[in-house]
A and B are shown apart, each in its own frame.
Chain A
Amino acid sequence: MEPALISPAKASLLGIPTVIFSVLIPVIGVALFTYIMAKRVAPLAFANPDFRFNRIRERAYRLLKYWLAQWKHPRYRTAGIVHIMLFAGFIILSVRSASLVIIGISEDFVMPGFGGSLGHIYNILKDYAATVVLVACVIAAYRRIVVKPKRYAVPEKYGKDHTSEAVFVLCMICGLIISESLFEASLAAAAVQKGVHAECLAPLSLAWIFRVSLSPVSLKTLQVLHVVCYYIHDLIFFSFLCFLPLGKHFHVITSIFNVWFMKLDKGTVKPVKWGVEDDQLDDLESFGVKKFEDFTWKHMLDFYSCADCGRCSDQCPANAVGRPLSPRFITIKARDYAFSHYPLKGNFKAEEPLIGGIYTEDEIWSCTTCGACEEECPLTIEYIDKMVDIRRGMVDEGNVPQSLQKPLSALEKRGNPWGKMEKKRSAWAADKEFKKECSVKLVEKGDTAETLFFVDSISSYDDRIQEITKSAAKVLTAAGTDFAVLGKLEKDSGHEVRRFGEEMLFQTLKEENTENIKESGAKRIVTADPHTYNALKKDYKNLPPVYHISEYIAEAVKSGKISLKSGDGNGKVYTYHDPCYLGRHNGMYDIPRDVLDAIPGMKRVEMTKSRDRSFCCGGGGLMLFYEPVEEQRMGQLRVEMAKEAGANVIVTTCPFCMVNMEDAIKTSGLEGEMEAIDLVELIQRHL
Chain B
Amino acid sequence: MNILVCVKRVPDTSENEIEVNSSGSDIERDDLVYSVNEWDNYAVEEAIQIRDKVGGKVTVITVGDDESEEILRREMAMGADEGILLSDDAFEGSDGKGLATILKAEIEKGSYDLIMTGAQADGGAAQVGGMLAAMLDMPYASLVNKIEVLDDSKIKVGREIEGGNQEMNEIDLPCVLSIQTGINEPRYVGIRGIRKVASLDIPVHGAGDLSIDAASVGEAAAKVKRLDYFVPDMGEGAEILEGSTEEIIEKLIEMLKAKGGLK
Contact = CB atoms under 8 A, between A and B. Distances in A.
Interface stretch (B14-22, B121-129, B144-152, B154-162): B14-22
Most A-side CB within 10 Å, residue of B16, B33, B188, B193: B188
A422 B31 contact: yes
Contact of B14 (A400, A402, A410): A410
Given A400-B187, A400-B188, 5 more contacts: A396-B190, A406-B14, A419-B16, A420-B15, A502-B190
A409 B16 contact: no
30 contacts: A281-B192, A282-B192, A282-B195, A397-B187, A398-B78, A398-B189, A398-B193, A399-B187, A400-B188, A402-B186, A405-B188, A406-B14, A410-B12, A410-B15, A412-B191, A413-B33, A414-B15, A414-B33, A418-B15, A419-B12, A420-B15, A421-B16, A422-B31, A423-B31, A502-B190, A504-B190, A504-B195, A505-B190, A505-B191, A508-B191
Interface string B52-95: 00000000000000000000000000100000000000000000
Interface in B160-218: 185-193, 195
B186 A405 contact: yes
A260 interface: no
B2 interface: no
Contact of A395 (B12, B15, B33, B190): B190
A600 to B, nearest CB: 41
Interface string A395-436: 111111010111011101110001111110000000000000
A402 B78 CA distance: 14
A422 B33 CA distance: 11
A402 B195 contact: no
Contacts of B190: 395-396, 408, 412, 502, 504-505
Interface residues of B, number: 19
A656 interface: no
A405 to B, nearest CB: 5
Contacts of A287: 192
Interface string A265-283: 0000000000000000110
A448 B248 CA distance: 53
Contacts of B16: 419, 421
Given A398-B78, A405-B186, A413-B12, A419 B192 contact: no
A504 B192 contact: yes
A163 B15 CA distance: 55
Most B-side CB within 10 Å, residue of A397, A398, A408: A398
Given A505-B190, A508-B191, A419 B14 contact: yes
A419 B14 CA distance: 7
A497 B188 CA distance: 14
Contacts of B187: 397-400
Contact of A409 (B35, B78, B195): B35
A408 B33 contact: no
A505 B195 CA distance: 12
Contacts, number: 59
A458 to B, nearest CB: 14
A396 B15 contact: no
Contacts of A414: 15, 33
A35 B69 CA distance: 58
Nearest to B32: A421
A446 B35 CA distance: 31
Contacts of A418: 15
A418 to B, nearest CB: 6
Interface of A: 281-282, 287, 395-400, 402, 404-406, 408-410, 412-414, 418-423, 502-505, 508
B224 to A, nearest CB: 31
Contacts of B185: 402
B28 to A, nearest CB: 11
A499 B21 CA distance: 40
A419 B12 CA distance: 9
Interface string B2-14: 0000000000101
Nearest to B45: A398
Contacts of B78: 398
3 shortest interchain CB distances as A-B pairs: A398-B187, A400-B188, A419-B15
A496 to B, nearest CB: 15
A511 B186 CA distance: 28
A405 B12 CA distance: 14
Nearest to B13: A419
A418 B12 CA distance: 12
Contacts of A409: 35
Nearest to B48: A398
Contacts of A410: 12, 14-15
Contacts of B15: 410, 414, 418-421
Nearest to B31: A421
A395 B189 CA distance: 8
A503 B17 CA distance: 29
Contacts of A395: 188, 190
A398 B185 CA distance: 10
Contacts of B193: 398
A562 to B, nearest CB: 37
Nearest to A405: B188
A409 B14 CA distance: 11
Interface string B29-55: 001010100000000000000000000
A437 B6 CA distance: 54
Nearest to A421: B31
A396 B195 CA distance: 12
A75 to B, nearest CB: 39
A406 B38 CA distance: 11
A400 B193 CA distance: 13
A423 B195 CA distance: 28
A96 to B, nearest CB: 57
Nearest to B196: A282
Given A282-B195, A414-B33, A423-B31, A398 B188 contact: yes
Contacts of A282: 192, 195
A515 to B, nearest CB: 17
Interface string B111-127: 00000000000000000
Contacts of A406: 14
Contacts of B189: 398
A493 to B, nearest CB: 17
A438 B225 CA distance: 50
A289 to B, nearest CB: 16
Contacts of B192: 281-282, 287, 396, 503-504
Contacts of B188: 395, 398-400, 404-405, 408
Contacts of A408: 188, 190
A419 B186 contact: no
A100 to B, nearest CB: 59
Contacts of A396: 190, 192
A423 B33 CA distance: 13
B9 to A, nearest CB: 13
A396 B187 CA distance: 10
A416 to B, nearest CB: 9
A108 B29 CA distance: 93
A566 to B, nearest CB: 39
Nearest to A409: B35
Nearest to A414: B33
A398 B31 CA distance: 28
A282 B193 CA distance: 10
Interface in B242-256: none
A415 to B, nearest CB: 10
